Amino acid sequence: MIRLDNIYKAYQVGDISLPVLRGITLTIEEGEFVSIMGASGSGKTTLLNLIGCLDSIDEGSYFLSGEKVLGASSDQLAGFRSRHIGFVFQLFNLIPRITALRNVELPLIYAGISSVERKNLALEALENVGLTDRAHHVPAQLSGGQQQRVAIARALINRPRILVADEPTGSLDSTTSQEIMRLFQALNQGGMTIVMVTHEEEIEKYTRRIVRLVDGNIVS
Ligand SMILES: Nc1ncnc2c1ncn2[C@@H]1O[C@H](COP(=O)(O)OP(=O)(O)O)[C@@H](O)[C@H]1O
Ligand SMILES: [Mg+2]
């Protein structure tokens, strides 16, 4: 499903080019649950953003579901994202002034789906993460774990084939983290391909495969 071959990525800061990924080769099959681990600054987020088509690759090749990603325009990258990928972030990235239901509906608004259908799909998505009774709460009225569930419901609303999560438990206590990981496990058992960045050894045991990064290289 994901096939990266000899990927290089550098950031330009002023006149300086900062190499971050130095020849990443990685294949992820449909239905896998993979965690990417490594020290802070090792390139985990950069790699995840490339997998998620959020940023452009300098060199190498990337095929996502058989489609060539390298060289795609920003519109084409947006198309890959909306067709294939759901995103979950450490800080949830919910919009504070609108309810859980409206947050989950948002991707459907951009997809041009009618308001009745949006509401039904969003309620169904909230039910899938166990939050039916919190649909009309705004984020500040929810616990961290509940906010992350809303964010997961939002990530799933477009029926992506891949869930990409960057330290999804990084802001949660350990009990809540385990709940979120069990939710990911259930999604994975339902067929979802999941690629997750974490630096918590406790969390990594939930995934079936661990990719370790050191200074922009995969070491195991
Ligand atoms: N947009 C950016 N511009 C310049 N440097 C960046 C940018 N994003 C990340 N970096 C640098 O790239 C390196 C890897 O960052 P990152 O992928 O975020 O690592 P990790 O997620 O493993 O902590 C770090 O040295 C970081 O400072
Ligand atoms: Mg990071």
| Domain harbouring 50, CATH code | 3.40.50.300
Neighbours of 42 (CB within 10 A): 21
- Three-class DSSP category at 20: strand
**How far out from the chain centre does Cα 176 lie?**
18
In tens, the pLDDT along 132-189 reads 999 999 999 999 999 999 999 999 999 999 999 999 999 999 999 999 999 999 999 9
Does ligand 1 have an atom closer than 6 angstroms to the CB of 168?
no
Pick the residue whose CA is nearest to atom 3 on ligand 1: 11
Q: How many domains does the chain have?
A: 1
What is the percent of the chain with per-residue pLDDT over 90, rounded to a whole number?
Answer: 85
Residue 210 · residue 34 · CB < 8 Å? yes
φ/ψ (deg, to 5) at 150: -60, -45
> Which domain covers residue 135, as residue numbers?
2-218
pLDDT at 204 > cutoff 80: no
Cβ atoms of 36 and 200 within 8 Å: the answer is no
Phi, psi (5° rounding) for residue 13?
-120, 105
User: Measured from the CB, is residue 45 less than 6 Å from ligand 1?
Assistant: yes
Bridge partners of 164, per DSSP, are: 87, 195
Q: Does 46 contact ligand 1 (Cβ within 6 A)? A: yes
188-202 pLDDT, tens per residue?
Answer: 999 999 999 998 878
Cα torsion through 154, 160, 166, 168, rounded to 10? 50
Contacts with 7 (C-beta within 8 Å, 6 or more apart), sequence order:
21, 23, 24, 25, 47, 50, 57, 59, 60, 61, 62
159 in Cβ contact with 112 (< 8 Å): no
Closest Cα to atom 10 of ligand 1:
11
Give Cα 27 to chain centroid, integer Å: 17
